[in-house]
Amino acid sequence: MTTTRRIAGAAWTIARKDALAELRGKHAATSTLFFAALVLLLFGFALGPDSRKLAEAAPGLLWLAIVFAGLLTVARLHQVETDDDALEQLALYPVDRRAIYAGKVISGLVAMLVLGGVLLVAVAILYGMDLAPALPALVAILLLGALGFAAVGTFYAGVTVRMGAREVMLPLLVLPIVAPLLLAAVKATGAAIAGDPSGELGAWLQLLIGFDIVMLVAGAGTYGFLLEDV
Amino acid sequence: MPQTTIYRSPRSLGLQDSPPPAVDTVELARLFGRSPALAGVSLRVEPGSVVALVGPNGAGKTTLLRVLATAIRPTFGTAAVDGLDVASYPDQVRSRVAYLSHTTGLYDDLTARENLGFAARLLGVEAGEREERMTAALEEVRMADAADLRVRGFSAGMRKRVALARILLAAPSLVLLDEPHAALDPDGMALVDRMLDAWRGVGVTVLLASHAVERIAHLVDGTVRLDGGLVAQVDGTGVASGLFSPPRTAPAMVGAGR
């Protein structure tokens, strides 16, 4: 079996285990979803009932809600490894460290795609917007944005998982790094919803792709060091 | 008495001539901050031996096992498993070692069988053998009836049994056990005793840390007493270089086989 197949197999095993644990402990995932929907609702209240203002702010509000809820998601996916010191056991299996990182990124990606999908519907309902014409582009943006966030979030969740103040440290470390991703995702979402009148959507998607590649390569190359001396 | 199922490693089948020591540490030290948990342990364990690590709390037993399992790195000195340095070849060492720590490393929201399935996949057990091995391991540790229950509701002893079943899935050449009898009822303790016998029978090396000195006395080939991060005393059959060897002079030879 080739190294790539071994890594893919182990990553799939880890992602499958995380998905099963998430489904079984669904109260945690559900509360994250409600938290994100609540963020959208409160932003809506803060901006007032002006539907034009809400539509203009919608891309930013959507991605802020995804990022806030994403922080909780990646933290939870690592938290499950600290119960009964499962992280040490995971680190002692004879598998490539990149497989463990990849597995956790896949888990984070899937959870965030579900989250993002629900939030897109919530935006359409709460802010009275018709997102159907832009749906293919929005799905692509969500996929790229969620992947980039999962790549960064997984790495820093690994950094902070054993810290006492991890709830504070994780946002402090992740948010500055994902600023370019947030900017590109918000701009791309805005362009997609508006029908891309100035033809900028492609450039923002390229930035998202570049961000994802850099962060995935960096994360896969360095995550293994976080498992040393666990 | 039920038959213990142990999967044999290639070395235990005699496929390799004159194997290196199963465990070989030289001046091994591990510091946590400025505190030395190990202060220079030189130890050599021959393949196929069952060796006990005894000593008071804080003696360095768990730290030594964790270094050999590649959970932590040595600060100074070297440690090798089957001739492979743990710091230089951690991946190869991991594929040869099975480690039972104080904690069980199980996932609460998964069932016992799902936990074992996860372990079996990461241990590289072939898909065709997986179910059979898991069932055999669960039966061996008398957890077959609770196989499809979530681990969250298990007692400490039941969790320990599942963790022991996980070791039975692997084909290690070295088994490291940290207080294997702890939290177990008399039946569970007898199970551990049978597993030790079975491993000895197929030539798997076992290094176990234990406070149950009297219980394990008849189960082991050699005993190493650690104190303050150093080897204080070595007993047992096949001991070379005298019964006691200061750690900074020569490796202590224990468990050269019965």
Which letter does DSSP use for residue A50 in this model?
-
**pLDDT value for A100:** 96
Residue range A121-159, pLDDT digits in tens: 999 988 888 898 999 999 999 999 999 999 999 999 999
Distance CA A7, CA A59 (A): 36
Distance from CA of A187 to the nearest CA of B (A): 40
- Evaluate if residue A10 carries a pLDDT over 80: yes
B60 close to B41: Cβ distance less than 8 angstroms:
yes
Q: Rounded CA gap, B176 and B154, in Å?
A: 23
Q: Which residue has the tokens 């496929």?
A: B15
| Tokens at A186, concatenated | 């918000």
Q: What is the mean pLDDT of residues B198-214?
A: 90
Angstrom distances, CA of residue A86 to CA of A45, A83, A133, B100, B101: 42, 6, 45, 12, 11
3-state DSSP assignment of residue B158: helix
pLDDT, tens digit, for every residue of B163-192?
999 999 988 999 999 999 998 999 999 999
A24 and B150 within 8 Å at the Cβ level: the answer is yes
pLDDT at B10: 45
Average pLDDT on A161-187 reads 92
DSSP string of A88-128? HHHHHSSS-HHHHHHHHHHHHHHHHHHHHHHHHHHHHHHTT
By three-state DSSP, how is residue B101 classified? coil
- Per CB-CB distance under 8 Å, the chain B contacts of A14 are 122
Considering CB atoms only, which of B103, B106, B124 is closest to A94? Answer: B124
Show residues of chain B in contact with A91, CB under 8 Å.
71
Contacts of B106 in chain A (CB under 8 A): 84, 86
Determine the pLDDT at residue B234.
85
Task: Enter the tokens of residue A194.
Answer: 């508006």
C-beta atoms of B71 and A95 within 8 A: no
CB pair distance less than 8 Å for A13 and B122: yes
Q: Identify from B65, B109, B130 which residue to disrupt to test chain A contact, counting A C-beta atoms within 10 A and taking the largest count.
A: B109
Of A84, A93, A228, the CB nearest to B122: A93
Nearest-neighbour CA in chain A from B1: distance (Å): 31
Q: What is the pLDDT of residues A64-101, one digit of tens each?
A: 999 999 999 999 899 889 888 899 999 999 999 999 99
Tokens standing for residue B197: 């016998």
Name the token pair of B95. Answer: 């594929």
Q: Which residues 6+ apart lie within 8 Å of A145 measured at CB?
A: A63, A66, A116, A181, A184, A185, A208
Q: How distant is the Cα of B122 from the closest Cα of chain A, in angstroms?
A: 6
To the nearest whole Å, the CA of A142 is away from the closest chain B CA by 29
- A137 CB near a chain B CB, below 8 Å? no
ipTM score for this prediction: 0.89
- List domains and CATH numbers for chain B: 1-96+172-258 (3.40.50.300), 104-171 (no CATH)
The pLDDT of B115-119, averaged and rounded, is 97
% chain B with pLDDT above 70: 84
Distance from CA of B236 to the nearest CA of A (A): 30
**Nearest chain A residue (CA) to B69:** A92
Helices (H), B104-233: 112-122, 127-140, 156-169, 186-201, 213-216
